Homo-oligomer: A and B are copies of this chain.
Amino acid sequence: MPGTGSDQAEASSTRDRILDVALDLFVERGFDGTSLRQIAEPLGMTKAALYYHFESKEAILMALHMRLHEFGRVLLATVGDEPVTLETWGKLLSELMDQMMAQRKIFLLHERNQAAFERVHNKSHQQEHEDFETWFRTTLADSSLSVHDRVRMAGAFGVVFTALFLSGDAFSSATPDELRDELHGAVDDLLRNEPATGATLDHS
């Protein structure tokens, strides 16, 4: 909350406009490849002015991280404490897919700046926060699930992630609805418990 702003109804705070520009640049050139001057310039200010709104460059990155963190918090709440199965995983992915399509840039930010996030994460003693990414990887490593099921779970996520983020704009010609339906179909194929046709597969 930067001070005693007078415009109650201004469309977006300066703080938010800084974050929007930073998000674009961090996705495009990377966190380390972006200088504060490059963030300030399109906003018509100098880099010194940024320090009125953020105490450091890393604070800008962490503020953007919070946007993802909030999605994860909500998502974890919808899962509740149901045991993880191929079916519940499908429901989770369905929710996640919508979030990813709506907040594309935030996910791209994290995909393209893993090293920077890890560095800042360690510096700041911010351990002990129930992170969605942590839960995700912990679940995939849960040895009480079969390797078969876990590969399917990771793979189903990978289908969505790759189509949306690693394929460039390969699917920009498809409508969002068409893409979402195709992704659902692919995810369902992966998570469907194989019917025992001909041979019995045992994946307890």
Contacts and interface: CB of A to CB of B under 8 A. Distances in A.
Interface in A136-178: 137, 140-141, 143, 147-148, 150-152, 154-155, 157-163, 166-171, 173-174, 178
A173 B150 CA distance: 12
A141 B169 contact: yes
Interface string A13-51: 000000000000000111011000000000000000000
Copies of this chain in its oligomeric complex: 2
Nearest to A186: B155
Interface stretch (A77-85, A92-100, A113-121): A113-121
B161 A162 contact: yes
B152 A186 contact: yes
A152 B189 CA distance: 11
Nearest to A148: B182
Contacts of A183: 151, 155
A61 interface: no
A179 interface: yes
A168 B141 contact: yes
A15 to B, nearest CB: 24
A29 B167 contact: no
A174 B147 contact: yes
Contact of A141 (B33, B140, B161, B170): B170
Given A30-B116, A116-B33, A158-B166, A151 B171 contact: yes
A119 B38 CA distance: 15
A30 B32 contact: yes
A82 to B, nearest CB: 20
Interface of A: 28-30, 32-33, 112-116, 119, 137, 140-141, 143, 147-148, 150-152, 154-155, 157-163, 166-171, 173-174, 178-179, 182-183, 185-186, 189-190
The 10 closest A-B pairs by CB, nearest first: A158-B162, A30-B115, A32-B32, A155-B159, A158-B158, A140-B170, A141-B170, A151-B182, A155-B186, A147-B174
